[in-house]
Homo-oligomer: A and B are copies of this chain.
């Protein structure tokens, strides 16, 4: 099977680009002397994660227990479940621990800490807990100077729960787009997390680990003093949001959606594609960035961007490809769309957000430099 004969829409991973992305991030972290724990929620794909581990990753980060279960079954033992644990999910977490999974759970509040401590005591299970720190106000976690941090630390310490460390995720990095701003946020993320660890150690909570990361801050950081590990997810494939943030080039984007031209609206200079939002996802992450790529950036079959066109609209199974300068849509352009993109033309679309687009597909088609395609299964659900 070759790319031009593949049924469309299909999610294509360029293996060379992916391996280059993996290599560069791992090299960077090795040079800093810290461990790297990739976030596998981006791909939910065993083949991708094996490549990350082969390159030197120390364990993985997951966003659901389903991911933990699937990757443990595939042989990964060291797993950080990086979403504050819902106490009603503790039996599932315990089942994984008892099978030998080195599963680390996260809490960011006293109620969850008490629930974990009680459950651990009742069931005699040795949970390792990490405390989530909020270093940029974008989501979850306890800010480093809050009393609640020490309260959670004391609850776990007094219950003799193994506290593995503190972790934070400066997700607001996605809203930035200059090296200076990214470096400043990376330093804020580092300093806040190190400070939280220090405060916990002062009250005799061991807290050996200090885990930070997001793709933009991992790439921008100049200093990781006190940090023991970095986490990042989307770096493995990159996407148009990351391109706008400024942490990758277009040529680094390893995920694209293969699609076919199925119609035209010549008066509007539209080509209709068989990749709608069901294929691209509804993610419009570039809509508020410096360059709005609509539902994606079209490319030729060999991956060359068509920078004068955009996937401007999407219905469930229809995408609308249209010229960027709408004011220039004249009869000449209208002719052009039919001759330039005849029915049956195959295109590839770079997505706004690799995590969201991948989630629309049950599998990736992994494209080798030789042109050979291999199916890599992707799971979904919780």
Contact = CB atoms under 8 A, between A and B. Distances in A.
Contacts of A274: 83, 86
Q: What is the size category of the interface that chain A forms with chain B?
A: 35 or more
Interface stretch (A23-31, A205-213, A223-231, A257-265): A257-265
B139 A272 contact: yes
A71 interface: no
A7 interface: yes
A140 interface: yes
A84 B262 CA distance: 6
9 contacts: A8-B86, A41-B316, A84-B262, A112-B262, A134-B265, A139-B315, A139-B318, A140-B262, A278-B359
Interface in A326-373: 342-344, 353, 355-356, 359-363
A234 B9 CA distance: 23
Q: How many copies does the complex hold?
A: 2
Given A283-B282, A380-B380, A382-B7, A262 B86 contact: yes
A272 B356 contact: no
A interface, by DSSP: helix, strand, loop or mixed? loop
A374 interface: no
A360 B361 contact: no
A122 to B, nearest CB: 16
A85 interface: yes
Contact of A171 (B89, B263, B315): B315
A104 B39 CA distance: 44
The listed residue with most B CB atoms (<10 A of its CB), out of A274, A284, A320, is A274
**9 nearest interchain CB pairs?**
A282-B282, A111-B343, A362-B381, A282-B283, A63-B317, A84-B262, A86-B260, A84-B263, A86-B262
